Structure 1
Amino acid sequence: MSDSTPAIDFRGVSLRFISADGNATVALRNFNMAVARGEFVAIVGPTGCGKSTTLNMITGLLKPTVGEVHVMGKPVQGIDPRIGFVFQADAVFPWRSVIDNVAAGPMFRGKPKQEAYAMAEDWIQRVGLGKFGKHYPHQLSGGMRKRVALAQTFINNPEILLMDEPFSALDMQTRTLMQDELLKIWSGTGGSVVFVTHDLEEAIALADRVFVLSARPGTLKRVYEIDLPRPRVTSTVRYEPKFIELSKHIWDDLREEVTLA
């Protein structure tokens, strides 16, 4: 397959929900988005505009009412093992230690136990939890649990990573550290990322492009190229004149939609 084929391709997608009382709600309307191989895309928009809905259609959990969603050049047909997902809430098993949590994915995919645990040990070191492999989730801070979640996801070498407000519950300092950790790990994988967030500055600091959605029904209002050099340090890039200029322009777009919503 050609590298020019998008990793993710939304083609004229609309999604309508029918409630129990028979009323129809249009979540997305005529939505188009193509994500290239190795590209980091962020989606922003007001509450209820369909940001998380786009992720659920990439995974196959939701199907478009109209249009098509393609992954790696083919229509989405159920759950794709090449896709990793990081949620807002922790997806760790509370009864398992850190290393047991991280090794679970490779073992589920058929790796021998010894190999899975060697991989897990490597990834625990990569995310800075080398001394905490035997700890349980309740013994970890919020930021440390997010590091476990990143290790759980990246250990499976996903070609596509979907992230639904993964750092929103963290304090600002920890959030900034996790953003840098994400960029560091992602830069070595060649995978594509779709990152949903309410935080405009987070979107600009992380992404190659920012997609702005309108108020419900969500449509693509505008796409912004984030031409800030990489590698980036999120704590310092926010003070660059180009970053500030982009923030003002995108917020002008977003403010209109938030007001409507």
Structure 2
Amino acid sequence: MTQPVIELREATKRFRGSTGIMTAVQNLTMTIRPGEFVAVVGPTGCGKSTTLSLVSGLEPASSGEVLVGGKPVQGIPAGIGYMFQQDAIMPWKNVLDNVAAGPRFRGVRKADARAVATTWVERVGLAGFESYYPHQLSGGMRKRVALAQTLVNEPKIILMDEPFSALDVQTRSLMQDELLRLWAGTGAAVIFVTHDLEEAIALADRVVVLTAVPATIKADFVIDLPRPRDVEEIRLTTAFLDIYREIWDCLREEVARARRGATLNAA
């Protein structure tokens, strides 16, 4: 078997808040191999985004270990692409220059950066919109730009924090299919955080369920659905519905726990 590209070993993250120390995630142990697509689900506020921050090096672990490429994470590792819930498109740059920004920051000559950016603009379906600015784009088009920004550097690891949550249902399905199409064959490992269990199952090879805060891994489900996938069609299959029921039976207990905790805190 190939060696893991991401490893969390009893990783814990604590934050200092107004009421003292809060443990966001504790004792997370998980491995992800090259080419694996892993979705992470759990109750609201349970630490899903914190997990991405540990892998990306944006936050250091309070205890335990986080390794990328077999090396402890100390700062932001090379070869990581991060797509946030709110896109990081620069409003003063047009589509082409937004996508070319990543290669330019890495020292690629302007002409070469624009050439590779042109290829990715075409691959995400925005040919003809190279000179448009973000305020001229729809929400779905902006997400295509953000996806091209993430993939243009050919990352070995792609971290995605609810990237499609703000889109309408139809556009969201289109972007899910686009993501699978563009990711296929890259060999990149993906961690995809989402509140949407259907989205997680439709996209992923594995779905990891986190508990309510302090979050730890409750279960890790293998999604044995064939690829390539059409996300709309696969949702209608019996196999999909069976997997959904199994994971929801596990997840809903944690959602209920989180709601009870929120009610007690409000009181």
Q: TM-score, normalised by structure 1?
A: 0.97
Residue matched to 1:209: 206
Residue matched to 2:53: 56
CA distance in 1, matches of 2:62, 2:83: 26
Secondary structure at the aligned position of 2:51 is classed as: helix
The alpha carbon displacement at 1:20 in A equals 4.4
The alpha carbon displacement at 1:81 in A equals 2.6
Secondary structure at the aligned position of 1:148 is classed as: helix
Residue matched to 1:245: 242
Percentage identity across paired residues of the two chains: 59
Q: Choose the corresponding residue for 1:102, options 99, 103, 110.
A: 99
Residue matched to 1:255: 252
CA distance in 2, matches of 1:106, 1:16: 35
Residue matched to 2:4: 6
Residue matched to 1:158: 155
Secondary structure at the aligned position of 1:48 is classed as: coil
In the TM superposition, 1:1-261 aligns within 5 A as 4-20=2-18, 23-261=20-258
Contact persistence 2:10–2:63 (CA under 8 A): yes
CA distance in 2, matches of 1:213, 1:20: 25
User: What are the Cα deviations for residues 214-253 of structure 1, in whole angstroms up to 9, with x where unaligned?
Assistant: 0001011001000000000101000111100011111111
Contact persistence 2:100–2:114 (CA under 8 A): yes
CA distance in 2, matches of 1:241, 1:127: 31
Contact persistence 2:60–2:74 (CA under 8 A): no
CA distance in 1, matches of 2:5, 2:161: 18
The alpha carbon displacement at 1:138 in A equals 0.5
Secondary structure at the aligned position of 1:32 is classed as: strand
Residue matched to 2:261: none
Residue identity opposite 1:86 in structure 2: M
In the TM superposition, structure 1's runs of 4+ consecutive aligned residues that sit over 6 Å from their partners are none
Count of aligned pairs: 258
Residue identity opposite 1:149 in structure 2: A
Residue identity opposite 1:13 in structure 2: A
CA distance in 1, matches of 2:105, 2:55: 22
CA distance in 2, matches of 1:17, 1:120: 39
Q: TM-score, normalised by structure 2?
A: 0.95
CA distance in 2, matches of 1:141, 1:230: 29
CA distance in 1, matches of 2:198, 2:55: 25
The alpha carbon displacement at 1:31 in A equals 1.0
